[in-house]
Amino acid sequence: MKKETMEELSARTDEHEFYLSAPKGYRVGKTKYVVITGSVISGVGKGTFSSCIGTILSLFHGFRVSPIKFDGYLNCDAGTLNPFRHGEVFVLDDGTECDLDLGSYERMLNKNLSKDNYLTSGKIFKMIIDKERAGGYLGRDVQFIPHVTGEIKGFLRNLASKTDADIVLVEVGGTVGDLENSYFIEAMRELSYEEGRENVFFINVTYILEPRSLGEHKSKAAQLGVKSLMSLGVQPNMIICRSENPVNEKVREKISIFSNVPLSRVVNCYDVGNMYSIPLFLMESGVDKEIINSLNLKKWEKIDEINLGKWKQLAKKTENPVNEVTVGITGKYTNVHDSYISIIKALEHSGSYSGTKVNIRWIETTEIENGENDINEVMKGLDGIIIPGGFGKRGIEGKIMCAKYARENNIPYLGLCLGFQIALMEFARNVCGIKDADSTEMNPDTKSPVVDILPEQKKIEGLGGNMRLGGKDVEVKKGTLAHKLYGKDMVRKRFRHRFECNPEYIQTLERNGLVFSGKHPKYPIMQILEIPKHPFFLATQYHAEFTSKTLHPEPLFSGFLKACMKK
């Protein structure tokens, strides 16, 4: 489709069968699109692959890359999703609650994303229905094609324009063949038709099975997966064969023949050690050059040697750590470690920088409170403990016991969100002598609500929409550990909570030696606490883990690990 016709056509869209949605001034060909789909099975590492490609194109080649994840769920966002089933709910600076893959993009690409980088089926349908009710479709019958697919393309073009992107990197959630993402893939086919094949690059991430009974790789499932993508009218430009072990040439050849994709673009990406080594591996395989050449993006000779050098160093340090620590993490959802992925990554970032291997031991706190496990046994061998975010009553008393143990035995303690509130309750009970100190979340009738619902939010009832969400400024007090670690008077951090430190108890807590080293710049909302006499006892009402980046570890995590090493 010609440059000129895009705007013309969208202006008189009621006269023909096209439904083109593009922001004003949108120029075809200015932004290129890389579309990543997955086939055969879910969980092949499509998200990891996508963020690695994003890293290569942005950090190393210097392109402006805007990633976007499409989720087939009918949920409008991830706010109501149970982390036990779906993994962590990640929070963006603008307060968007989204899929954990967005966290991966932010960390790897070293940038902050927004609501424009996340699209769910629920969000697109709600948009369309609202628009229809407002008469936005000018009397047309609203159809999957062209309207739903048209709005999806419009969403991508809007992102392209708003972020002035060289490349929009589209990750299509789910697997080819799912009903849920079929119209999204159709939208991508149309995108390629409208933008031109030279501007859209399709990558299919597939999986090569290796049945143990046969002891060799089998490509049939991958062939069928690619075939079903092609039956939707999408010809992939590149195929990434994920596998546990390296596959041989014959397997790649077979896939090449069946998919019309030249052998040089059928790339085997087997399990390679750590996260840092994957982008390096993909570059060695020439994946970036194939994409850049095909999309006619000329800048690729200019590699950012500084970023690449840093990255290589981190890969090396991760492979050859000089220290080792064991950190305990208490958690309700301990059998689904994806629920805590940002914490694990934040530990990895700080660990890589300092050449420290971080072992994680998961602690089920219900077993401590019911006496099944002795606290002394549980804490044995731990160099530090993290109490992460959480909701509800379960395991709370066990967590308070862990905080007490850490405080009394000089074990480094890092509390995140709920972990901040746990520290408050523990300190109030065992240091200030308020024996029944509690949170109104766990005990609504408590006489000593040290943790209570936010005054400004008290009027709002019910689930959803009443959470204090997103990036907020935190004023850091001079002369404190937090200030030493951040080296700044003001930081911006991400929140997702309803309850907070009850302002009525601030004085008592401070008088007994607790220091609030981070506060809201205007209101008496406490955001960081610490105990100066302790080697490292620090907690944040915000989720410090959400702003840790691969190339820029979150300072509190680095401080925590340093204290763990000293121990």
Q: Which residues are catalytic?
A: 417, 543, 545
In the complex with ligand GLN, the residue whose CB is nearer, 40 or 425, is 425
Quick count: other Cβ atoms within 10 Å of Cβ 252? 22
> Closest by alpha carbon to 108, among 172, 37, 49?
49
When binding is defined by CB under 6 A, the residue of 105, 155, 340, 499 that contacts ligand GLN is: 499
Out of 417, 482, 501, 528, which residue is the one contacting ligand GLN (CB under 6 A)?
Answer: 417
Q: Choose the binding region for ligand GLN from 162-170, 224-232, 242-250, 387-395 (rule: CB under 6 A).
A: 387-395
**Residue 389 in contact with ligand GLN, rule: CB under 6 A:** yes
Least distance from C-beta 87 to ligand GLN, angstroms?
Answer: 15
> Smaller CB distance to ligand GLN: residue 383 or 441?
441
Here the tokens at position 323 are 């220290």
- Binding region for ligand GLN (CB under 6 A) out of 200-208, 292-300, 384-392, 469-477: 384-392
Query: Per CB under 6 A, which region of 15-23, 344-352, 455-463, 497-505 contacts ligand GLN?
Result: 497-505
Rounded distance between C-alpha atoms, residue 12 and residue 155, angstroms: 19
Q: How many CB atoms lie within 10 A of CB 355?
A: 15
520 interacts with ligand GLN by CB under 6 A: no
171 binds ligand GLN (CB under 6 A): no
Q: What angle do CA 526, 564, 360 make, to 5 degrees?
A: 95
Whole-angstrom Cα distance, residue 117 to residue 119? 7
Least Å from the CB of residue 159 to ligand GLN = 28
Residue 453 CB, nearest distance to ligand GLN (Å)? 8
Is 377 or 461 the residue whose CB approaches ligand GLN more closely? 461
Give least dist CB 181 to ligand GLN, A: 30
Among 365, 324, 358, smallest CA distance to 343 is for 358
| Angle subtended at Cα 284 by Cα 58 and Cα 310, rounded to the nearest 5 degrees | 50
Residue type at 331 in one-letter notation? G
* Under rule CB under 6 A, residue 497 binds ligand GLN: yes
Q: Which two tokens stand for residue 436?
A: 């029944």
**Distance in Å, CB of 561 to ligand GLN, minimum:** 21
Minimum CB separation of residue 501 from ligand GLN in Å reads 10
Picking from 431, 392, 391, 395, the residue whose alpha carbon sits closest to that of residue 529 is: 431
Instruction: Give 484-504 as a DSSP string.
Output: HHH-SSEEEEEEEESEEE-GG
- Could you tell me the smallest distance in angstroms from the CB atom of residue 233 to ligand GLN? 43
Cβ proximity to ligand GLN, 46 vs 496, nearer residue: 496
Q: Which residue is nearest to ligand GLN (CB)?
A: 389
Residue 147 as a binder of ligand GLN (CB under 6 A): the answer is: no
Q: What is the smallest separation between the CB atom of 506 and ligand GLN, expressed in angstroms?
A: 17
Q: Is 391 an interacting residue with respect to ligand GLN (CB under 6 A)?
A: yes
d(CA 417, CA 387): 8
Residue 462: CB atoms within 10 Å: 6
Q: What is the nearest approach in angstroms of ligand GLN to the Cβ of residue 499?
A: 3
Q: Which of 38, 79, 174, 390 binds ligand GLN (CB under 6 A)?
A: 390
Residue of 416, 421, 420, 274 whose CA lies nearest to 343: 416
Comparing CB distances to ligand GLN, the nearer of 190 and 500 is 500
Reading the block at residue 413, the tokens are 């303690």
Provide the minimum distance between the beta carbon of 376 and ligand GLN in the complex, in angstroms, as a whole number.
27
Complex with ligand GLN: residue 186 or 545, whichever CB lies closer: 545
What DSSP string runs through 346-372?
A: HHHHHHHHHTEEEEEEEE-THHHHTTS
Is 542 among the residues that bind ligand GLN (CB under 6 A)?
Answer: no
Kindly tell me which of 108 and 422 has the beta carbon lying closer to ligand GLN: 422
Hey, what are 363's tokens?
């602690």
Contact call for residue 496 and ligand GLN (CB under 6 A)? yes
> In terms of residues, how long is the chain?
567
CB atoms closer than 10 angstroms to residue 545: 30
User: Which run of H or of E encompasses 284?
Assistant: helix 277-284
Task: Report the 10 Å Cβ neighbour count for 232.
Answer: 14
Work out which of 418, 423, 501, 544 binds ligand GLN, going by CB under 6 A: 418
In one-letter notation, the amino acid at residue 109 is L
Residue type, 379: M
Interface map 424-463 toward ligand GLN (x if CB under 6 A): -----------------x----------------------
- Name the segment binding ligand GLN (CB under 6 A); options: 229-237, 496-504, 506-514, 531-539: 496-504
* Nearer CB in complex with ligand GLN: 349/497: 497
Q: Which uninterrupted H or E stretch holds 150?
A: helix 149-162
For residues 275 and 48, the answer to whether their CB atoms sit within 8 Å is yes
Sorted by sequence, the CB contacts under 8 Å of residue 356 that are 6+ apart come out as 321, 322, 323, 324, 325, 350, 561, 565
Nearer to ligand GLN, 205 or 417 (CB): 417
Which has the closest alpha carbon to 143: 154, 153, 133, 128? 128
Question: Is 22 in contact with 159 (CB distance < 8 Å)?
Answer: no
Question: Is 471 a binder of ligand GLN (CB under 6 A)?
Answer: no
**How many residues touch ligand GLN (CB under 6 A)?**
10
Q: Contact positions toward ligand GLN, by CB under 6 A?
A: 389-391, 417-418, 441, 496-499
